[in-house]
Amino acid sequence: MSKLKVLNVVLAVVLLILIILTLFCMKQDGKTEASASGSRKSAIEIIHKRTSVRDYTEKKVTRDQLETLVRAGMAAPTAMNKQPWLFVAIDDKELLNSLGAVLPYGKMLLKSTAAIIVCGDMNKVLDGHGKEMWIQDCSAASENILLAATDLGLGAVWTGVYPSEDRVSAVKKVLNLSENLIPLNVIPVGYPAGDTNPKDKWKTENLHWNKW
């Protein structure tokens, strides 16, 4: 057999091996994607899995995770698309402890490694009768944050601040918030320290069809 024929045979074998490897890799990628898709919970499942988590491990929440949560918050609907909000993400333990010390129902902040404060920005609110819509807008953003935290395997809890004047004043002082910002809530975030079992809140008597 001539050298040319030998070379052609070798090249053919190499090409065949490359084709087989490519097909194998594509198959494995397909399995990985299918597995990820199959293990991914649906939006409805996340909604029903969400629960208030007040006890956390020492594992730190990353800034990337916090940004993911805030991005989810900013995806919420707002009246006239005003987006009258500002978010303060906290991963400084001293600040978390300071907030936990001034909020009567915020002691879980002493255990959390992060928190998000959802604020209404009075410079962005609607005029006239629509001024108070910021509360609904920021509430929608807060729920998005809680759901996103659940999706990431994190625990979080809505800790009310507004309309308590004392709590609003205390949070503004700790975080040095400007006059135009009103903290609606503080959301401690962390890795759950135990099993989290959501409550089943479904009650048929709270559903009416068409009329009362």
The yes-or-no verdict on residue 19 having pLDDT over 80 is: no
d(CA 54, CA 51): 10
- Per-residue pLDDT tens digits for 167-187: 999 999 999 999 999 999 999
Q: Which two structure tokens, joined as six digits, stand for 31?
A: 């399995």
Buried b or exposed e, range 117-136, using 16+ CB within 10 angstroms: bbbbbeeebbeeeeeebbbe
Q: Which two structure tokens, joined as six digits, stand for 44?
A: 């409805």
The predicted structure's pLDDT at residue 37 = 41
> Can you tell me which residue has the tokens 């959501």?
198
**Mean pLDDT value across residues 100-108:** 98
Domain boundaries, the chain: 1-40, 46-190
Q: What is the pTM of this model?
A: 0.82
Angle at Cα 158 formed by Cα 152 and Cα 164, nearest 5°? 160
The conformation of residue 209, written as its DSSP 8-state character, comes to S
CATH topology of domain 46-190: NADH Oxidase (3.40.109)
The predicted structure's pLDDT at residue 13 = 63
